[in-house]
Structure 1
Amino acid sequence: MVAARAEKELAIQLPGGRDGRDPERAIKRGPSRLPREFILATQRDRLYDGLVRTVAAHGYANATVTEICRAAGVTRPAFYEHFDGKEAAFLAAYTRGTDLLLGVLEREYREGSHDWHSAVWRHLESLLEILAGTPAFAEAAIVEIEMVGADARRKRAELLNRFRGFFSGAPELPKQVDRGTVIDTVIGGVYAAIYQRIAIGRATDLPDLLPSLAYYVLTPFGLAVPPGARVGAVGAAASKSVHYPSTPSSSMPLFLTADQE
């Protein structure tokens, strides 16, 4: 219950999680006694929401600064006080959202159980639930980022690199297997599965991927999770380890190397 509440609160904080024109965040015209820093921060957050929702609805290429400002309830001059243009605004919203998301997951990983296979299940579940709870952010950050340019691709590579930290507690692999390659391939595969589900308009169904993705992440490290396993059954399921042979054979799992940024 606590975890579900925290995920819901984070989803609201993510860019696109709220209506940019929400009356509760409106700033009345004319002289204001509010600190300028508060006004600027409120405008920026509303622009994040307006941008993400506009990009999710119309695509990055078709989203205009005028439409973003309209969705945020912010004037064009105010927009350019914060950002040089649409790309800069998108990158700022992307950085804000992914830092929030990864920050929560990383903190939970550091403070949580040292049972790695259970942690994998728990953190995948959180990731999928949060993205499903903010489909506009999922669409913009996972799918539409492809249209933004080289700086966005570098930002995405930085994001994916941060996921390597979640493998610090993973079991060792056979000596002939390059650990970094396996980890990067698993991260790339999970990202691709999430991308595909969002790209066909089913972001809200992302939690359905949990059993398959948990199986995909755990199996290379000798920890098999049967499809349909529940969170409480992960420990028992993971005890059924996969024993790798000491030398390569046709029975060993094969992994494709993902393209690196």
Structure 2
Amino acid sequence: MTQPAARQLPRGRHGLPREQVIASQRERILQAMAEAMAENGYVGTSVAVILKRAGVSRETFYEQFRSKEDCFEAAYERAVGGLLTRIAHASATPETADKNGTAPADPDRMSRILAAYLDGLAAEPAYARLFLVEVYAAGSKAVARRALLQESFVELMADVLGAHTEAQRFACQTLAAGVSAMVTTRLAADDLDGLRALHQPLLEMVRRSGDLYGSAVLHPNGTRP
């Protein structure tokens, strides 16, 4: 999720390709929106505030975005895309399998996923606030997109934990909702240390759950609880 901070291009003739100029301007605008909303909220962030923070003209803004809402959607997609990439890398399992073609147990997979999620949020708190906190002020379309993101997290946990029954899937849904509520509270309070500190207690809770969340819950040594 972490990306290099966007730098303002030098004034005057710089010889850079137009595509690079546009990409730099877009990144600065999205970063400015995320940071401004972290300070002022969605309602309190105007296009003028974004322009001043990004160091671009109004004309440049409207060449790339139809409105503040359109810009928010783009910033949201950037934030979510980066976070999902982190989680996907963390959730990858070894390709090796035994002679029966069965992949070995990976007891650390849930730990890696939780760490990637929490570290990803803490690495870019402005973007994290944008899609966890400010999304509810951005309208029904944004909230619906937020629900889809949470459902994708449920699907991942159900796969990792081996949720095969309706009861286990419901337990995964409640786990995802609980994690979302806890991280949102800590982000709203700018408590990044507290955000990262959720990793171990959440992991231990899952490991103590037996088959509540699924049949694949493992201890670190690869045995079932």
Residues 2 and 82, structure 2, Cα contact 8 Å, conserved in 1: no
Unaligned stretches of 5+ residues in structure 1: 1-9, 226-233, 242-261
Matched, 1:211 2:196: no
Deviation at 1:185, TM superposition (A): 1.7
For residues 145-200 of structure 1, what are the alpha-carbon distances to aligned partners after superposition, in whole Å with 9 as ceiling and x for unaligned?
11111111111122112211243132356x5x533322222211111111111122
Identify the residue that residue 231 of structure 1 maps to in structure 2: none
Matched, 1:239 2:223: yes
Identify the residue that residue 76 of structure 1 maps to in structure 2: 58
Q: 1:131 aligns with which of 121, 133, 137?
A: 121
Identify the residue that residue 161 of structure 2 maps to in structure 1: 170
**Distance (whole Å) between structure 1 residues aligned to residue 34 and residue 55 of structure 2:** 14
**Distance (whole Å) between structure 2 residues aligned to residue 172 and residue 84 of structure 1:** 42
Q: 2:168 aligns with which of 176, 179, 189?
A: 179
| Equivalent residue letter for 1:79 | F
Identify the residue that residue 3 of structure 2 maps to in structure 1: 12
Give the root-mean-square deviation of aligned CA atoms. 2.4
The DSSP-based 3-state class of the residue aligned with 1:88 is helix
**Mean Cα deviation higher: 70-79 or 195-204:** 195-204
**Mean Cα deviation higher: 86-95 or 157-166:** 157-166
Deviation at 1:108, TM superposition (A): 3.0
Q: How many aligned positions are there?
A: 212
**Distance (whole Å) between structure 1 residues aligned to residue 112 and residue 50 of structure 2:** 35
For residues 7-58 of structure 1, what are the alpha-carbon distances to aligned partners after superposition, in whole Å with 9 as ceiling and x for unaligned?
xxx4235xxxx3x5xxxx3223344532211111110001111010000011
**Distance (whole Å) between structure 1 residues aligned to residue 37 and residue 15 of structure 2:** 33
| Equivalent residue letter for 1:103 | T
> After TM superposition, where is structure 1 displaced by more than 4 Å over at least 4 residues in a row?
111-114, 222-225
TM-score, normalised to structure 1's length? 0.72
Residues 33 and 72, structure 2, Cα contact 8 Å, conserved in 1: yes
Q: Structure 1 residues 41 and 89, CA, compared in 2 at 3 Å: closer, same or farther?
A: same
Identify the residue that residue 90 of structure 1 maps to in structure 2: 72
The DSSP-based 3-state class of the residue aligned with 1:74 is coil
| Equivalent residue letter for 1:153 | V
**Distance (whole Å) between structure 2 residues aligned to residue 112 and residue 127 of structure 1:** 20
Identify the residue that residue 193 of structure 1 maps to in structure 2: 182
Q: Structure 1 residues 204 and 59, CA, compared in 2 at 3 Å: closer, same or farther?
A: farther
**Distance (whole Å) between structure 2 residues aligned to residue 99 and residue 43 of structure 1:** 19
The DSSP-based 3-state class of the residue aligned with 1:12 is coil
Deviation at 1:208, TM superposition (A): 0.9
The DSSP-based 3-state class of the residue aligned with 1:169 is helix
Unaligned stretches of 5+ residues in structure 2: 96-103
| Equivalent residue letter for 2:131 | A
Residues 138 and 203, structure 1, Cα contact 8 Å, conserved in 2: no
Q: 2:135 aligns with which of 134, 138, 145?
A: 145
